[in-house]
Amino acid sequence: MRPEVSDEQLNAFIDGELDAADRERLLAAIALDGELAQRTCALRLVKEQVRHAYAESPAVRSRDDPARPWRLLASVLLLMGAVTVGWLARDSVITSPAAEASKGETAHVLLHLADWDAGRADAALSDAEGLLRAARDSGRAIEVELVANRGGLKLLRSDLSPHAKRIERIRSEHPNFALIACGQTVERLRDSGIEVRLLPGTRVASSALDQIVSRMSQGWNYVRI
């Protein structure tokens, strides 16, 4: 029987407050226990939501900024081809404890657009296209999903999206690119009398959070744009 891991221990792990030995023991436990991995993902996401709720909105970075998340993910998942265990966080990039990107394995990346901003919407599509092209050019398999909620749903609405033709082109070139709309956001809009029409092929999840937690528990890598 595995020892119970408390939320206090998980908080300390996520905040980087454990010493090396305790961190390694907890990483090993997370790798073996799917429920513990899901608890860790959910707790990390709550912390991210709180941090983003109270932080000032950062300026959208230049596509030439080497700290852009897609550059890090492209190098980690597609070029290094290494097995990754634990959290890899830079900006809003999180590598799930269960994630693997060894050669021959399929890499999985979930991009999350929570609020509308023209620059961030463009960055989300550029990140997706960058990953998909890098994978194709290097002969590696990858699946990329873009989940949108709240104001970010505008990107996936056929009557509002300024990038409908670009998205159609990306999807035609990369069938391994999927669009996911937050069902809660859709329902809230419809309840307020707004007709919501989504881009062709867009899937609707019960909620963005459910989709993120589900994918991360399956080993997907999470990037908040």
Dump the DSSP string for 44-83. Answer: HHHHHHHHHHHSPPPPPPPTT-TT-HHHHHIIIIIII---
Segment 192-198 mean pLDDT: 96
**Domain for residue 69, yes or no?**
yes
* Rg of the Cα atoms in the chain: 18
**Domain for residue 7, yes or no?**
no
Lowest-confidence pick of 12-16, 87-91, 128-132, 179-183: 87-91
Higher-confidence position of 194 and 51: 194
How high is the pLDDT of residue 62? 40
Please name the residue that has the structure tokens 């290094």: 80
What is the pTM for the complete model shown?
Answer: 0.65
Identify the CATH number of the domain in which residue 133 sits: 3.40.1260.10
Higher-confidence position of 61 and 143: 143
Q: pLDDT tens for residues 100-151?
A: 444 567 888 899 999 999 999 998 998 899 888 888 888 889 999 999 999 9
Number of domains in the chain: 1
142 and 177 Cβ atoms separated by less than 8 Å: no
**Domain for residue 35, yes or no?**
no
Phi/psi for 224 (5° steps) reads -90, 125
**Domain for residue 4, yes or no?**
no
**If DSSP codes are grouped into helix, strand and coil, which group holds residue 149?**
coil
**Domain for residue 98, yes or no?**
yes
**Domain for residue 39, yes or no?**
no
Confidence of residue 34 (pLDDT cuts 50, 70, 90): low
Cα–Cα nearest to 131, from 72, 202, 87, 183: 72
Residue 156 domain boundaries: 61-224
**Domain for residue 27, yes or no?**
no
**Domain for residue 137, yes or no?**
yes
